[in-house]
Amino acid sequence: MLSASFRLDPAFTIAPVSRRTFGSFVEHMGRCVYTGIYEPTHPTADSDGFRQDVLALTRELGVSTVRYPGGNFVSGYRWEDGIGPVADRPVRRDLAWHSLETNEVGIDEFMRWAGKAGVEVMYALNLGTRGVAEALDVQEYLNHPDRTRLAELRRSNGADKPYGISMFCLGNELDGPWQTGHKTAYEYGRLAAETARAMRAAEPDLELVACGSSSSSMPTFAAWEAEVLELTYDQVDYISAHAYYEPLDGDIGSFLASAVDMDHFINSVTATADSVGAKLKSKKRLKISFDEWNVWYLTRFQATRETEWQVAPPVIEDSYNVTDAVVVGSLLISLLRHSDRVTAACQAQLVNVIAPIRTEPGGAAWRQTIFHPFALTSRLAKGDVLRVEPAAPSYETARYGDVPLIDAVATHDPESGDVTVFVVNRSQDAPATLTVPLAGFGADLQVAETWTVHDDDPNATNTATDPDRVVPHDLAGATVTDGELRATLAPVSWSAIRLTRTA
């Protein structure tokens, strides 16, 4: 059996937990919108056509923010197509996913859905095929109160009050050659800076996200961020980061260590941004919006991609297993560990498309395995993120070298006194004993609740016919004894342990 330990102290904080870390993503892609969040003929559909079973699962998931409407889709999107009488809305080609977009759901419908889900909207602008004027138009429609043409148009469409969106993404993945309107770093940086400057003329307190690299494996990674930020540094608040992970060539060991790559990605973007800030002699510290991340079996998609022009075709509807859920849990640990710089993040996507929630048209909705670590982390991570340095054995990986078998982060809520430990065991065959001295908290703590995601079959999945095949269960035997938390972690497992003060 493996052995791991780390010490917790409330004095060693990283940053407060940001609720925006638990964001999601709704793109007009595949069945995310149509037969995902929206299906007027579904038995659970409300008067606006939204599936109430999906709404309930979204709330249970603990989503704070939703990025909309894309994604690659946004770089060819005309927002005006999705307002006004539905019967008058045009059907358009979506070049990104070779689909047909009916525009049955647009800004006003989505904002109503967001209100019902209780989420903040992070709105992505089209800077692929459009520019400053169109960005100002959609900003006016969304946020201006009245008396202008577009504000009055919004009011005539049923939204009397402005939507008050405060966070805008200045385009999407424009470093990628696949992106409609792909640009060089200089071309994009100039456009993003001018768009940001114009938008701030109307609303100075907006939070604006510049496009970072679409992947750390891009040949222009870091150079793209450096050039874009030299042009936009004073006008933006965030630089974006996107990353997806999958097991390559059956290499589960490297796959379980995916958070090592995410850590490196974040540290690299932080260093680049800070270097630009120093060069510009700025005291401002940019934040990172990690607004696309997840497990995605990308090589499988690239091998089977279809290009038929359909409405809401099934696209990248990956079925997730236990190992995938453990990796998702470890990526959340990485995001929390960097809460001093990563203050917004969006798991891509919410429904059906590489998603924690799956649906059948006219039928059931269910939780995929990756739903559980996200929902539990969102619910339990409160207060301040604590610095954790586990002492644990390591193992050799083909992609990332020597990697610790145990990874963890913890949070402490000063108001309630609760401490929550989030931990993964990456070993594929050995359990691990975990010991965490708690003397720094100065009061007796006891185990309040424990959860673990593990199965004897790491390839087990949830399906429409067996939606609860994989569910979190109690981490048996976790105790606080003599001022130490002690627990046994199963192989390939993610666990959360909440401690509270004794009465």
Chain segment 268-310, per-residue pLDDT in tens: 999 999 999 999 999 999 999 999 999 999 988 876 666 689 9
Q: What is the pLDDT of residue 306?
A: 66
Residues of the chain under the 50 pLDDT cut = none
Burial (CB < 10 A; 0-12, 13-18, 19+), residue 78, is middle
Kindly give, in sequence order, each residue whose CB lies less than 8 Å from that of residue 465, ignoring residues fewer than 6 positions away: none
Grouping H, G, I as helix, E, B as strand and the rest as coil, residue 401 is strand
DSSP at 147? S
Q: Terminal CA-to-CA distance of the chain, rounded, Å? A: 34
Of residues 292, 360, 396, 484, which has the active-site annotation? Answer: 292
pLDDT over 70, % of the chain: 99
Cis bond upstream, residue 446 (ω within 30): no
DSSP at 352? S
Q: Could you count the other beta carbons within 10 Å of the beta carbon of residue 198?
A: 16
Q: What is the pLDDT of residue 305?
A: 63
Q: Could you count the other beta carbons within 10 Å of the beta carbon of residue 331?
A: 27
> What six digits make up the tokens of 242?
């996107």
Annotated active-site residue 173? The verdict is: yes
Kindly give, in sequence order, each residue whose CB lies less than 8 Å from that of residue 305, ignoring residues fewer than 6 positions away: none
User: In 157-257, which ranges are continuous DSSP H helix?
Assistant: 185-202, 223-232, 252-256
Amino acid in the structure at residue 103? N
Q: Choose among 295, 300, 347: nearest CA to 321.
A: 295
Q: What is the pLDDT of residue 301?
A: 83
Cα–Cα dist 114/108, whole Å: 10
Of residues 27, 80, 120, 173, which has the active-site annotation? Answer: 173
Q: Choose among 114, 109, 117, 120: nearest CA to 47.
A: 109
- Beta-strand relationship, 432-437 and 2-5: parallel
Beta bridge partners of 295: 245
Cα–Cα dist 8/20, whole Å: 25
Amino acid in the structure at residue 450? T
Q: What is the pLDDT of residue 426?
A: 98
Q: Angle at Cα 232 formed by Cα 228 and Cα 236, nearest 5°?
A: 120
Q: Choose among 266, 324, 275, 73: nearest CA to 179.
A: 73
> What six digits make up the tokens of 76?
């060819």
Backbone angles phi, psi at 183, to 5 degrees: -135, 160
Amino acid in the structure at residue 220? T
Beta bridge partners of 66: 24, 121
Cα–Cα dist 484/436, whole Å: 5
- Beta-strand relationship, 167-170 and 207-210: parallel
Cα distances (angstroms) measured from residue 331 to each of 17, 150, 338, 373: 15, 41, 11, 10
DSSP at 125? P
Kindly give, in sequence order, each residue whose CB lies less than 8 Å from that of residue 187, ignoring residues fewer than 6 positions away: none
Tally the residues of the chain: 503
Alpha-carbon dihedral angle through residues 45, 48, 53, 57, given to the nearest 10 degrees: 170
Cα–Cα dist 408/389, whole Å: 8
Cα–Cα dist 320/22, whole Å: 19
Beta bridge partners of 408: 423
Asked if residues 369 and 470 have their Cβ atoms less than 8 Å apart, the reply is yes
Cα–Cα dist 5/364, whole Å: 43
Kindly give, in sequence order, each residue whose CB lies less than 8 Å from that of residue 446, ignoring residues fewer than 6 positions away: 480, 499, 500, 501, 502
- State the residue for tokens 């870390």: 21
DSSP at 72? G
